[in-house]
Amino acid sequence: MTTITDVQAILEARVPELLRGYRIPGAAWGVLHDGRIVDGAAGLLSTTTGVEATPDSLFQIGSITKLWTSTLVLQLADEGSIDLDVPVRTYLPEFRIGDEEAAEVVTTRQLLNHTAGFEGDIFTDTGVGDDCLAKYVATLHDVPQLFAPGEQFSYNNAGYCVLGRLVEVVRGIPYDDCLRRHLIGPLGLTHTATGPYEAILHRVAVGHLEPEPGAGPRPAPVWALARSNAPAGAMLAMRPRDLLGFARMHLEDGRATDGTRVLASGTPARMRRREVALPDLGLMGTSWGLGFERFDTPGGALVGHDGNTIGQAAFLRLAVEDGLAVALMTNGGDAMSLYRDVFRLVLGELGRVALPDLPRPPENPQPVDARRFVGTYTSQVADLTVSQDEDGRIWIEQTPKGDIAELVGQASRKELVQYRGDSLIPLEPEHGIHAPHAFVGDDGAGRARFLHVGRAVRRADATAPPA
């Protein structure tokens, strides 16, 4: 039988070679099994400074932060300070979005499970002061409502910033202080930073970007996204062992290693429970809980979250029945391929739930009448235009907009082919993956109302208003 010590030895031998193959400057990993943690690291934290990665190095965890924010919210529910199913305005009367009727009824639960329905990729920088979240929430007054609250899933970064502000208001202290007092401290974490001023006290990874294909990863021009997006994943950084300390609390029904009760008994299971199904997207989970992404597989459920910031990517998975959690943090390159190799190995050796296969285009794609799909779908961060040429080939062009355009570069164009049902898939991979595009709903004229890529992107010329 393979032991966690065996897995540690395998990873220590293989990860350096994988980093070279996937052009990843540096990475750190950790495995928790039956209460024991092993960890390791390889590569460089920055190709400019040449500082080596160690198991105690800090990497940004990106949107895995949403699990921390949802945990803070569920602590309030455990205490009876909030009710998840009443309008969030009960606690945040200043909450405003573009649709006043929707703003009146959006609940905390809908923010937690990404069904609130307003556009979520809002990255407004409102400064670095402790009032940045309050200022950020005030900017949402004209954010469009895409669909009625509770109607469907659409990943929502802005919604988690609202949740962070909710925690601030109910606790009466800034979000970062809530993290320190109610999670970092009680969990006994020693290598976790809520921002750059704490991170600089440790060995810290710098994100790397590839300015053009084949150029290789180079240090990003900035370390982090705006502090106003901290509850959604803009700032929090830690070593894998600390992230697994958080995961262990969830595996052990809300208790820290010293017995401290962080969540009420039963609350971690409630957070992992299926709340809403997702379209057939292949790369994201099949369903979502209260913060947790769920991968429902024939062998059982994996839960967790991924995170991406400026040139950094992190991955966390929990196989609850096996008492197993795996964390991986990277600072550039083909992080998805490394994640697949590392997690497939660990889950295969220590668990009973296999990592789901990646989606791939069929070998012989069938012709598709794309009239239902053709058109432009628009959001705050990009326009997505789907077209079909005279030869029947389907194309999608993505044109970044706003501040994001400066980070991700110019427009891209790729060919889509038949996948499953109302989903199409790129013929060629991007960063080693084929990400399905689901077309959902009806605009009143027989055309898809949304292009769903984890976010529901609304057709620009839809003839039917949101329900």
DSSP state for residue 53 in the 8-state scheme: P
DSSP reduced 3-state for 3: coil
Q: Is 412 a catalytic residue?
A: no
Contact 411, 400 (CB under 8 A): yes
- What residues contact residue 279 under an 8 Å CB cut-off, 6+ apart? 153, 423, 438, 440, 452
Compute the CA torsion angle 228, 231, 235, 240 (nearest 10 deg).
180
DSSP reduced 3-state for 414: strand
Contact 208, 332 (CB under 8 A): yes
Q: Which residue has the tokens 């790129």?
A: 426
Cα–Cα separations (whole angstroms), residue 330 to 85, 143, 198, 435: 37, 33, 20, 21
Distance CA 121, CA 108 (A): 18
Distance CA 153, CA 109 (A): 12
What does the DSSP assignment read for 355-403?
Answer: PPPPP---SSPPP--GGGT-EEEE-SSEEEEEEE-TTS-EEEEEEE-HH
Task: Let me know how long the chain is.
Answer: 467
Distance CA 286, CA 363 (A): 24
Strand 208-209 with 218-219, pairing: antiparallel
Distance CA 7, CA 13 (A): 10
Q: Which residue has the tokens 């009367």?
A: 93
**Looking at 46, 57, 63, 287, which residue is catalytic?**
63
- What residues contact residue 339 under an 8 Å CB cut-off, 6+ apart? 313, 315, 328, 330
Q: Which residues are catalytic?
A: 63
